Amino acid sequence: MPAPRRSLALCLFVFLLLALPIQAQDTTATSSPPADANDVASVDALIAALYDVISGEAGAERDWDRFRSLFAPGARLIPIQPTAPGEAPQATILTPEDYIERATPFFTQSGFYETEIARETDRFGHLVHVFSTYESRRSPDEAPFARGINSIQLVQQDGRWWVLTIAWQPERPDQPIPSKYLPDGR
């Protein structure tokens, strides 16, 4: 290829690479339903909204538009658990829509109430990482049937907080939650 064509091809390639992130940034505000300003005003509000929106009685319809509104475009939810009994935990990468599709049949059949029992938060500028220890119950007054840790990454932009990722791992007999992530170290 002659030198002028190589230069033109290289310039086009570089332009396309630079244009892709710009296009992704332009869709940030329009990819999710509008959020309730109270849900996204602070880290505390966003974490509370996350737990609230997935909790409810068996068969109770979850407000999936509220759920969607908490997530940045491209956000991921990542359960880390065995895919079969006796297997090592594996990460499964889901979109918010994948999560809704997988969770809805479970929520139709079972009550599910997840509450935060402890939190460790680290912040740098507009980036926040939260280790949120949770307990899961079938009803608010029953004993927990599961505990674990949600690793939640948040970003503050466009005048609000957004969830970038949530990765979570349930506690197992061979992997108890470390005391530093439990209330009062218990």
CA-based end-to-end distance of the chain: 69
Q: State pLDDT tens for residues 64-122.
A: 999 999 999 999 999 999 888 888 899 999 999 999 999 999 999 999 999 999 999 99
156-161-167 Cα angle (round to 5)? 100
pLDDT at 25: 39
Residue with more model confidence, 185 or 33: 33
For residue 90, the one-letter residue type is Q
Query: What confidence category does residue 3 fall into, taking pLDDT thresholds of 50, 70 and 90?
Result: low
Q: State pLDDT tens for residues 139-159.
A: 999 999 999 999 999 999 999
Sign of the C-alpha dihedral, residues 182, 67, 40, 159? positive
How far, CA to CA in Å, does 54 sit from each of 38, 57, 107, 108? Answer: 17, 10, 9, 12
pLDDT at 84: 85
How far, CA to CA in Å, does 55 sit from each of 39, 45, 85, 183? Answer: 15, 16, 26, 21
Whether the CB-CB separation of 117 and 183 falls below 8 Å is answered with yes
Q: State pLDDT tens for residues 14-42.
A: 333 343 443 333 333 446 789 999 999 99
For residue 81, the one-letter residue type is Q
Six token digits for residue 56: 């409810």
Q: Span 31-175: which CATH code?
A: 3.10.450.50
Burial of 112 from C-beta contacts in 10 A (0-12 / 13-18 / 19+): buried
Query: What confidence category does residue 1 fall into, taking pLDDT thresholds of 50, 70 and 90?
Result: low
Collect all residues with Cβ–Cβ distance below 8 Å to 43 and sequence separation of at least 6.
121, 128, 130, 154, 161
Whether the CB-CB separation of 85 and 134 falls below 8 Å is answered with no
**What is this structure's pTM?**
0.82
pLDDT at 106: 96
Q: Domain coordinates of the chain in residue numbers?
A: 31-175
